[in-house]
Amino acid sequence: MISKFSLFVEIGRVVLINYGPLLNKTAIIIDVLDQNRVLVHGPTTGVERQIVNIKWITLTKLTIKVQRGARLASLMTAIKAADLDNKVAQLNLVKKITAASDKAALTDFARFKLRLAKSKVNKKVNNEVRKLVNEANRNSHKKMVAQKAKGHVKKTK
Amino acid sequence: MARLENPSVAKGLKLFSSRAYANRTRTYLAKKNKVAAAKKVATVAPKKEKTFGKVKRVVAAKAPKYAPAIPAEVRAQASKVAPSKVALRKSIVPGTVLIIVAGRFAGKRVVFLKQLTSGLLLITGPFRLNGVPLRRIDQRYVIATSTKVDVSSVKVSEKVTDAYFAAEKKATKKTEDAFFQDEKKQVEKKKISETRVADQKSVDTAILAVLKKDKALTLYLKTKFFLRKGEFPHNLKF
């Protein structure tokens, strides 16, 4: 039977913590204790080895090869071998979070400049869109006129 | 600073309350420093004419029954506390762009020039950009941003002090004619003195010369600040 799921709570699974003081930090599942709890550790992300409720974590598509209950040294070598930190940064989920935190860190003036740049882009896009729409409208109008003329001819036949 | 003794009476109990102690210290210091130069003036009791039955006699007036324990001059000196200098928020330095939070100019982004002796902030729009003139404002009514304009080349004339902004006193008594002409007067527009216009101009030109280099900054000062959807001031970084 083919499973509906593609991500599993398993040893070596990279997870994102989505609640509590460690919000938005990534860690690796080291052990699965029961249906609700896992042991996670993120030595490179500032997550100490600890038990976390599964409701507090989001699974990512990344896994690394570690043994159950792996100690720090072997975990670190596994992380380095997988080049995990770079891979994590490439995740869409993580990208969104970093983008949001970057945006929150903007000063008032930076926010203002961002708005200026946005309006510049929007103006250009809107201009192009308007051009295309106008042309399409003109073409459809021409078509209609032509069809009407045709229909008129047909009726007189 | 020399201090008076405040001996403890019992465990956790001092002889004088903190306020009484402060008062005593102040009078003590005033006495010690001889600020008041409280000399005991041997006052010659003024003489008075009094009638005793039919006889009139010149008699010395009665001295006041109670003499103040501390001479009045000393007391006056002690009660005078020099107004402390108003500490400026660390985030506000000359050139800081401020957002005015309350009043007629609420939402305007202005440039801070200097702190006046009263502790109020001297600001300007500049007037040419957003209509905010040289003006005083309390730092409570202001959000300090991290943006700064280089105002090292801007020289505010020495005469711009707190007194410069004081309102001219109007004649309180009205003549009869003036009373009836009151309505007419109200229609007349308040004229801004030429010195103020000139001061404003000199400051504006100096700042605008600096701002010319940064178009975005000029636009920034021109536009008002307001909260957009999902923006909360306590979450924003200024």
Quick one: CA torsion of B128, B133, B137, B139, rounded to 10 degrees?
20
Tell me how crowded residue A149 is: count the other CB atoms within 10 A of its CB. 10
Tokens matching residue B17: 């309350």
Type of residue at B36: A
CA distance B61 to B72: 21
CA distance B99 to chain A (A): 10
CA distance A142 to chain B (A): 44
Chain A residues inside the 8 Å CB shell of B225 = 108
ipTM over the 0.85 cut-off: no
List, for chain B, all residue ranges whose pLDDT scores fall below the cut of 70: 1-3, 34-45, 67-68, 78, 170-189
Quick one: CA torsion of A115, B212, B224, B229, rounded to 10 degrees?
10
Chain B residues inside the 8 Å CB shell of A112 = 216, 219-220, 223
**pLDDT of res. B23:** 81
CA distance readout (Å), A57 to A29, A30, A46, B99:
10, 14, 15, 41
Residues 6 or more apart whose CB falls under 8 angstroms from that of B148 comprise B93, B95, B96, B97
Put simply, the answer to whether A109 touches B220 (Cβ < 8 Å) is: yes
Find the closest chain A residue to B217 by CA distance. A109
CATH fit for domain B96-165+194-225, picks 3.30.70.580, 2.30.30.770, 3.30.450.20, 2.60.40.1180: 2.30.30.770
Residues belonging to chain B:
238
Put simply, the answer to whether B217 touches A109 (Cβ < 8 Å) is: yes
Put simply, the answer to whether A112 touches B220 (Cβ < 8 Å) is: yes
**pLDDT of res. A79:** 96
A105, A108, A113 member nearest B145 (Cβ): A108
Tokens matching residue B43: 């006052």
Q: Does A102 touch chain B (CB under 8 A)?
A: no
Of A127, A106, A50, the closest CA to residue B235 belongs to A106
CATH topology of domain A13-104: SH3 type barrels. (2.30.30)
CA distance readout (Å), B188 to B175, B181, B182:
19, 11, 10
Put simply, the answer to whether A109 touches B99 (Cβ < 8 Å) is: no
Find the closest chain A residue to B146 by CA distance. A107
Beta strands in B42-186 (DSSP E): 47-52, 55-60, 96-100, 109-115, 121-124, 135-137, 142-148
Residue ranges of domains in chain B: 96-165+194-225
Tokens matching residue A119: 């309006």
Q: What angle do CA A112, A116, A120 make, to 5 degrees?
A: 165
Q: Does A104 touch chain B (CB under 8 A)?
A: yes
Q: What angle do CA B226, B213, B194 make, to 5 degrees?
A: 75
**pLDDT of res. A48:** 96
CA distance A90 to chain B (A): 27
Residues 6 or more apart whose CB falls under 8 angstroms from that of B30 comprise B36, B74, B77, B78
Chain A residues inside the 8 Å CB shell of B216 = 109, 112-113, 116
**pLDDT of res. B61:** 74
B219, B235, B238 member nearest A108 (Cβ): B238
pLDDT tens digits, A6-21: 999 999 999 999 999 9
Contact predicate A14/A26, CB 8 Å: yes
**pLDDT of res. A124:** 97
**pLDDT of res. A138:** 95
Put simply, the answer to whether A107 touches B145 (Cβ < 8 Å) is: yes
What sign has the CA pseudo-torsion B218, B224, B229, B232?
positive
Query: What is the strand order of the sheet A57-63 is part of?
Result: A47-53, A37-42, A26-32, A13-17, A57-63
Which range has the worst mean pLDDT, A80-89, A101-110, B5-14?
Answer: B5-14
